[in-house]
Amino acid sequence: MTRESALGYGRHMSAPPATPLDDAGALAAEAARTIAHRTGVLGHDIAVVLGSGWAGVADALGHTVAELNQSEVPGFSQSPVVGHAGKIRSIRAGDRAVLAFLGRTHLYQDLGVDATVHYVRTAAAAGCRTLVVTNGCGGLREEWPPGTPVLIRDHINLTGITPLRGATFVDLTDAYSARLRAIVQAVSPGIPEGVYTQFHGPQYETPAEIGMVRAIGGDLVGMSTAVEVIAAREAGLEVLGISLVTNYAAGMTGQPITSEEVLDTGQASATRIGDLLARLLPEV
């Protein structure tokens, strides 16, 4: 569904005067109303987005109250990426109402940055105060083999893209909440922490690009998360980021990176990372 049709403006009607940010906010509010109506859950507390390799953990998070296709909710596109189911699930985890997004829209789908961060704005409009963002990624550290969960401590946005419009000076100090990371460290002592570097994709990096990431302080590489977290901080959400290393970054093993490796690692790790997330949600 296009934004215009989602808002009830047909092709035959002229769009209202362009106020892009209000427009994005209005579409998120409409998505939140649809979610409330279709799930019967009037407000949610915690949003979780499950990225590559994380699809198998959804069932571990709690009791499923309702599930929708993302394509049924205004502003969401059907995600075509294998391993991304394109669902929205309302989950009861203890006393928390969790809004889980199974699959996300990526920048490389060329649907625009607003489509990429729409789930974040929708989560905020649905009442969420916390965002747990997960992804599958390449790892630059030898000591973090595929299958290692890593807490995101900070990010480097190499996409050249921002979800912010105009002079919106959002502070990203402590974007990845030190409070929430301390809770994870209590639940899962010794979990490593690293700096996530977002590329636009969809190509994986060259070995030379991985050399650059290393030089500027990146530990993880992927194609999501940083731009979403910027939108989350604009919306006032407290953010917890967890990466699952699904492959060594380009040039580290002498082997190519394959989608099979990425998916296999996710499946093999589902029980462990599902358990981690499930124990975490009641604490955040």
Catalytic residue among 205, 209, 228, 238: 205
- Amino acid present at 1: M
Peptide bond into 207 cis (omega under 30): no
**Minimal distance, residue 120 CB to ligand 8IG, in Å:** 19
Distance CA 119, CA 49 (A): 8
Question: Which ranges constitute the DSSP H helices of 1-101?
Answer: 3-6, 20-39
Return the structure tokens found at 177.
Answer: 């909440």
Q: Write down the least CB distance from residue 71 to ligand 8IG, Å.
A: 23
CB 46 within 8 A of CB 284: yes
Q: How far is the CB of 250 from ligand 8IG (least distance, A)?
A: 6
Minimum Å gap between C-beta 169 and ligand 8IG is 28
Q: Count of alpha carbons within 13 Å of 236, Cβ hemisphere only?
A: 5
**Nearest CA to 251 among 209, 194, 196, 197?**
209
Give the nearer residue to ligand 8IG in terms of CB position, either 90 or 243: 243
Closest C-alpha to 119, from 237, 283, 277? 237
Q: What are the residues binding ligand 8IG (CB under 6 A)?
A: 52, 136-138, 199, 201, 204-205, 221-223, 246-247, 249, 257, 262
Q: Which is nearer to ligand 8IG, 52 or 269 (CB)?
A: 52
Q: Give the H/E segment covering residue 113.
A: helix 113-125
Residue 119 or 196: the one with the smaller Cβ distance to ligand 8IG is 196
Bridge partner residues of 221 (DSSP): 138, 197
Report the residue number, 74 or 149, with the smaller CB distance to ligand 8IG.
149
Residue closer to ligand 8IG (CB basis): 19 or 206: 206
Q: Which residue's Cβ has the minimum distance to ligand 8IG?
A: 138
User: Whole-number minimum distance, CB 3 to ligand 8IG, in Å?
Assistant: 28
CA distances from 282 to 54, 107, 125, 131 (A): 19, 31, 21, 13
Q: Look up 205 and say whether it is catalytic.
A: yes
Catalytic residues, by residue number, are 205
